[in-house]
Amino acid sequence: MRISLFALAMICGALPAWSDEVNIYSHRQPDLIEPLMAAFTAETGIAVNIAFVDKGMAERLVAEGDRSPADLILTVDIARLTEIVAAGVTQPVDSAVLTANVPAQYRDPGNEWFALTTRARIIYASKDRVAAGEVTTYEDLASDKWKGRICTRSGTNDYNVALSSAIMAHHDALYTANWLQGVKANLARKPEGGDRDQVKAIWAGECDIAVGNTYYIGQMLADPEQAEAANAVSIVFPVFENGGTHMNVSGIAMTKAAPNREAALKLMEWLASDAAQQIYAETNHEFPVKPGVAMSPLVQGWGTFTPDSLSLSDLAALRPQALSLIETVDFDG
């Protein structure tokens, strides 16, 4: 049995790799992407090695420099993608396939990152305690009518910082600070857990609505131990008062070191293909980034919505200011 040079590099330091391999540093949990990588390997014969890196990916790549064994970076949230690019550890990718399959608002202007899926930051609402049409906008979350009725994960979580950045883009910093204070005043408990924990809190009667990503509901419905909680909520697609539904992405970038550039490019292009986009849709219940690829039947059943048109790169630029406001109002306190 051949031992992957990627595995050796993780232990002993960077080494050259075989051209029939692709090495990935991933923020995404391996179980979410392994079905895709298995399908790619079956089709091309190219092995894919994944190292899950929860924190410090940019710093790690900077430290490894041109000896890094990683070819590609897989991550979620526009801020993480732009952070990686800003660290100077990625390279532009010139690919007609990627520019054709990934809409301009979902890729870096300099082609250093490309979205692979999109996800909406929506409202989970109790089917028993929240009437249809009771919540329609993100701005409304600061309304007094939600006093003691909202659950959320930490305000400093990447997804929530991105949402706060979008509030700022649609309004201004003062409005955003007041909005954050209003939402905080409406919380049923201090921010804690992940998005799935908010669904469980609604089911348990601790709160009536929560902010979360759509695909978590799909994952919970597929788990017999979580399905009852997921079935207790409905999905609401709110909008900004002067925009659409807030969107974020999962995405990919090629490292500057990329010892297997040709194989890595094949994987990038394959992940934006109809076949891979369909696997994303059916397995992870995410929205395909390539136009024309169908959502899973479950996701289609959640209804239609209008994505917000704000540039994700513009939102990423507002992240430091949004995070500062979240900390100033002591949102998690």
Residue extent(s) of CATH 3.40.190.10 domains in the chain: 5-118+248-300, 119-246+304-328
Q: What is the pLDDT of residue 19?
A: 57
Q: What is the pLDDT of residue 16?
A: 42
Q: What is the pLDDT of residue 29?
A: 73
CATH superfamily of 5-118+248-300: Periplasmic binding protein-like II (3.40.190.10)
HEC string of the chain equals CCCCHHHHHHHHCCCCCCCCEEEEEECCCHHHHHHHHHHHHHHHCCEEEEEECCCCHHHHHHHHHHHCCCCEEEEECHHHHHHHHHCCCEECCCCHHHHHHCCHHHECCCCCCEEEEEEEEEEEEECCCCCCCCCCECHHHHCHHHCCCEECCCCCCHHHHHHHHHHHHHCCHHHHHHHHHHHHHCECCCCCCCHHHHHHHHHCCCCCEEEEECHHHHHHHCCCCCHHHHCCEEEECCECCCCCECEEEEEEEEECCCCCHHHHHHHHHHHCCHHHHHHHHHHHCCEECCCCCCCCHHHHCCCCCCECCCCHHHHHHCHHHHHHHHHHCCCCC
Q: What is the pLDDT of residue 11?
A: 40
Q: What is the pLDDT of residue 49?
A: 95
Over the chain (333 residues), the average pLDDT of each successive run of 10 is: 41 49 89 88 95 90 96 92 95 98 93 95 98 96 98 96 97 98 98 97 98 93 96 97 95 97 98 95 91 93 93 91 98 97
Which CATH code is given to the segment(s) 119-246+304-328? 3.40.190.10
Q: What is the pLDDT of residue 12?
A: 41
Q: What is the pLDDT of residue 30?
A: 72
